[in-house]
Amino acid sequence: MMELDRDLEIEELLEFHPEEENIRLDVYLSSQEELSLTRSRIQKLIDEGLVQVNDVPGKANYKLRKGDKITLILPPPKELKVEPENIPLDIIYEDEDIIVINKPQGMVVHPAHGNYSGTVVNALLAHCQDLSGIGGVMRPGIVHRLDKDTSGLLMIAKNDLAHLGLTEQIKNRAVQKKYLALVYGNLKEEKGTIDAPIGRHPIDRKKMAVVPRTGKPAVTHYQVLRRYGNHTYLEIDLETGRTHQIRVHLAYIGHPVVGDPVYSSKKRFNLPGQFLHAHQLIFKHPRTGRTLEFTAPLPEVMQKVLRSLE
């Protein structure tokens, strides 16, 4: 094993033994599902001397051979201070334990690279005196998320009791989440199920994809609400909650979500993002056990699209 600088902080020390021959070191590492790292991030780690092959500093273009030992150091992420911001929230429900909001399209849920302000978390920190700290500095109170350009219902934990209770329900698939989506094409069936594992895209690490061998189980149920010739309006019921699940699954069956900038190349409507709205949320209150049910109306910009198709 490599000698390490005593002052170097290590979050994780990983070892790989590739079975593939003649593949570049950076390509191989960026394809590893457990890392979820982009190729550019891998190359930076290599440049910083944090990747070694057979105990020797590796090079990005090194062609791997069977029997090679790759050692990768992952430094801990740098925590940034998240500032409260006085951003209005569309609060559907609030009590001492939870908040349910209707997130607008275009708003990021929690701070991340390139978005350290203007997020739901920034707004929550200004609204609440205290949030569950289980999610860490960058994600206080956040128990699930919506993509930036997906609108709709989001539940937030205000304390650790609520956080643990809500995450347990999500883990046990006891939270019911329904979405509304407009897709390209005319689906043959009135309702159906897409059961296809999802993982990181093998080439474009910023995308997700159906990955049969290494993906995580993902199940999406859909029902046709209305047909508009070359477009179909659907209600989506998620059985699992993988990243970009609805968008990936619908694109996989040849009916991508209208306006999706990542998984569809078609453009027609003047939408700020994909036509995907978290319409209904049903779960049990983490303290009382009472069943709570919330709905959020389709945003006006999406209603306008439907009217144009009438």
The C-alpha atoms of residue 279 and residue 295 are separated, in whole angstroms, by 5
Q: How deeply is 244 buried, as exposed, middle or buried, from its count of CB atoms within 10 A (0-12, 13-18, 19+)?
A: buried
Instruction: Say if CB 276 and CB 247 are below 8 A apart.
Output: yes
Tell me the backbone φ, ψ of residue 143, rounded to 5 degrees: -110, -20
112 is written with which tokens?
């991340």
Given CA atoms 79, 83, 89, 91 in this order, what sign does their dihedral have?
positive
CATH topology of domain 79-172: Pseudouridine synthase (3.30.2350)
pLDDT in tens, 182-196: 999 999 999 999 999
What pLDDT is stored for residue 41 in this prediction?
82
- Residue intervals of the chain classified under CATH 3.10.290.10 are 12-74
Between 121 and 34, the higher pLDDT residue: 121
The C-alpha atoms of residue 294 and residue 142 are separated, in whole angstroms, by 18
Count Cβ atoms below 10 Å from residue 79 Cβ, excluding itself. Answer: 9
10 pLDDT exceeds 80? no
What pLDDT is stored for residue 203 in this prediction?
81
Average pLDDT estimate for 171-188: 95
Query: What's CA 39's distance to the chain center, in Å?
Result: 19
5 pLDDT exceeds 60? no
Q: Which helix (H) or strand (E) holds 42?
A: helix 39-47
What pLDDT is stored for residue 79 in this prediction?
61
pLDDT tier, 13 (very low <50, low <70, confident <90, very high otherwise): confident
**pLDDT > 90 fraction of the chain, expressed in percent and rounded:** 64
Q: Which of 118, 153, 125 is closest to 139 using CA atoms?
A: 125
Class of domain 173-310: alpha beta
Choose the weakest-confidence range: 194-203, 220-229, 287-296. Answer: 194-203
The C-alpha atoms of residue 70 and residue 269 are separated, in whole angstroms, by 48
pLDDT tier, 238 (very low <50, low <70, confident <90, very high otherwise): very high
> How is the chain split among helix, strand and coil, in percent rounded to 5?
15, 30, 55
Q: Which of 116-120, 180-184, 209-213 has the highest mean pLDDT?
A: 180-184
- Chain mean pLDDT for the chain: 89
Half-sphere exposure of residue 142: CA atoms within 13 angstroms, side-chain side: 20
Q: How deeply is 94 buried, as exposed, middle or buried, from its count of CB atoms within 10 A (0-12, 13-18, 19+)?
A: middle
Rg over alpha carbons for the chain, rounded to the nearest Å, is 22
Q: How long a stretch of residues is the chain?
A: 310
Given CA atoms 244, 245, 251, 255 in this order, what sign does their dihedral have?
negative
Catalytic, 149? Answer: no
Average pLDDT estimate for 277-302: 97
Please give the CATH number for the structural domain made up of 12-74.
3.10.290.10
Count Cβ atoms below 10 Å from residue 185 Cβ, excluding itself. Answer: 15
Instruction: Say if CB 235 and CB 229 are below 8 A apart.
Output: no
Three-class DSSP category at 117: coil
What is the rounded (10 degree) CA torsion for 202, 207, 208, 214? Answer: 20
Q: Say which of 55, 95, 97, 147 is annotated catalytic.
A: 147
Q: Which of 42-46, 139-143, 278-282 has the highest mean pLDDT?
A: 278-282
- Residue intervals of the chain classified under CATH 3.30.2350.10 are 79-172, 173-310
The C-alpha atoms of residue 53 and residue 60 are separated, in whole angstroms, by 11
What pLDDT is stored for residue 265 in this prediction?
83
Q: Which residues pair with 56 in a beta bridge?
A: 53
What pLDDT is stored for residue 77 in this prediction?
62
165 pLDDT exceeds 70? yes
Name residue 205's amino acid: R
pLDDT tier, 220 (very low <50, low <70, confident <90, very high otherwise): very high
Average pLDDT estimate for 26-42: 79
What pLDDT is stored for residue 4 in this prediction?
46
The C-alpha atoms of residue 190 and residue 187 are separated, in whole angstroms, by 7
